[in-house]
Amino acid sequence: MSRARNWDHDDAGALAIASAIKSRRITALEVVTGALDRIGRFDGILNCFTSVMAERALADARKVDEAVARGEDPGPLAGVPFAVKNLLDIGGVTTLAGSIIRADAAPAREDAAAVASLRKAGGVLVGALNMDEFAYGFTTENSHYGPTRNPHDLARVAGGSSGGSAAAVAAGLVPLTLGSDTNGSIRVPAAFCGVFGLKPTYGRVSRRGAFLFVSSLDHVGPLARSAEDLALAFDLLNGPDPRDPVCSKRPAETCLPDLRRGAEGLRIAVAGGYFSKRAESAAFEAVEKVSAALGCERVVEIPEAARARAAAYVITASEGGNHHLADLRTQAERFDPMTRSRLLAGTLVPAAWVSFAQRFRAWYRDRLRELFQTVDVILAPCTPCAAIRIGQKTMVLDGEEMPSRPNLGIFSQPISFVGLPVVSVPVHLPGKMPFGVQLIGAPYQEAKLLRVAWELQSRGAISSAIAPAFRALACQ
């Protein structure tokens, strides 16, 4: 037990844990027991988990240890505890998607593709994570299951809709989680909680077994505390899946071995125009810190980003509202009040608006394709502010008061709109809550983004350790 407790107090990531288990410096059972202990001690404070599968996790950990004892390789995630947003199917468990409407649904028959990939690699699934109802929100202030709290300040939101996924990593409950991103639902909580998050190219990671929100915008991706762990997870997740109709047929890519190439030879620029206003000064300071570390002086403009965000709103509202139309007609009172009104509004969006938004989407995609002929990676703020307070209704940006909850996606929505890959990297400024910077790339260029993330990490410009308060609590 002493070995496990000492190990638990490290900021060990997935790669380090798997290495230690394979070399028998610690057992998978000790690691998973430690994770379950931390969840038991701290999740009552944070509210990251909607369910914890302790018996199943301990059984899987024993299987990993048995494989190691036989001299077999359990996989690249050997014994690593991980958890998943509760819109991803877990075999034998009901997929809630943050709702009570689905509480009576039949249990999932099999794991979602992304969950199965991590388990096949030796990862040990310990539970399902809190989220905004049906992934429609940026704060994880769920009226049914309670708000997830930010490990860096318990009075603040963790971000959303993958708030449980980000907070669990930031508090050191697990080193790796899965989330989903429609308009920023991985990137916003990653930024608020000070961890790494990857929204891959649309269709690069299978969504089979995910309870989708907006099919034409949804992505599944990982969150972690290092560029290496993020790359490892992406390597295990990406690749074709004939059972997912939108999944790319491109062969799976391995990014981890090339991380140490860093930013060498890459053309990097800062997004100006739309991405240089309507935010707290600290959001731009975070971008400046990253660009300075990379020696980046070039500025580019992403054309019509404001219109892209508006079009993303139209498509999100329309697809999301119509996806839930039957339940809105028959049991509207069972929806989270913070979700219901926006879904109802989405059912009333005129078809002409949706048609125009889709035509603009094609034009915008072409303009970005042209832009990425001249640049490899674009830097932009992830959010316009640090994590807001739980219950906070409005915020002031550039002297204008606006609703806080929907406007946390000001900088993430124009990128999701055409499915570009993005890595959100954590920036810690003295005396401030964490911020995130988006590393944006052309489709299927995740490897370049992960290389830049590693470069920044190696230079000390970005970092993600367990939130100090929870690291201190774990040591008690």
State pLDDT tens for residues 362-391.
999 999 999 999 999 999 999 999 999 999
Active-site hit among 99, 162, 185, 412: 185
How many Å is the maximal CA-CA distance in the chain? 65
Instruction: Give pairs for 71-75: CB < 8 Å, separation 24+.
Output: 73/22, 74/21, 74/22, 74/28, 74/122, 75/18, 75/120, 75/121, 75/122, 75/123
> Using 50, 70 and 90 to split pLDDT, how confident is the model at 194?
very high
Q: Find the mean pLDDT for residues 27-34.
A: 97
Ordered DSSP codes for 329-368 = HHHGGGS-HHHHHHHHHHTT--HHHHHHHHHHHHHHHHHH
Q: Find the mean pLDDT for residues 221-243.
A: 98
Q: What is the pLDDT of residues 256-289, one digit of tens each?
A: 999 999 999 999 999 999 999 999 999 999 999 9
Active-site hit among 22, 85, 289, 448: 85
pLDDT the model gives residue 368: 98
CATH superfamily of 2-474: Amidase signature (AS) domain (3.90.1300.10)
Residue 17's nearest CA partner among 33, 28, 2, 9 is: 28
pLDDT the model gives residue 471: 84
Q: What is the pLDDT of residues 94-126, one digit of tens each?
A: 999 999 999 999 999 999 999 999 999 999 999
pTM to 2 decimals? 0.97
Q: Find the mean pLDDT for residues 235-248.
A: 97
- Pair 190, 153: CB distance under 8 Å: no
Question: Catalytic site residue 161?
Answer: yes
Q: What is the pLDDT of residues 301-344, one digit of tens each?
A: 999 999 999 999 999 999 999 999 999 999 999 999 999 999 99
> Using 50, 70 and 90 to split pLDDT, how confident is the model at 10?
low
pLDDT the model gives residue 6: 46
Which of 42-56, 206-220, 458-472 bottoms out in mean pLDDT, i.e. has the lowest?
458-472
Burial of residue 35 (number of CB atoms within 10 Å: 0-12, 13-18, 19+): buried
219 in helix, strand or coil?
strand
Q: Where are the domains of the chain?
A: 2-474
Question: Catalytic site residue 416?
Answer: no
> Using 50, 70 and 90 to split pLDDT, how confident is the model at 8?
very low
* Amino acid at site 317: A
* Amino acid at site 175: P
Q: Find the mean pLDDT for residues 202-210.
A: 98
Active-site hit among 22, 99, 117, 161: 161
pLDDT the model gives residue 241: 98
Indicate if the pLDDT at residue 476 is higher than 70: no
Q: What DSSP state is assigned to residue 104?
A: G
Return the percentage of the chain with pLDDT > 70, whole number: 97
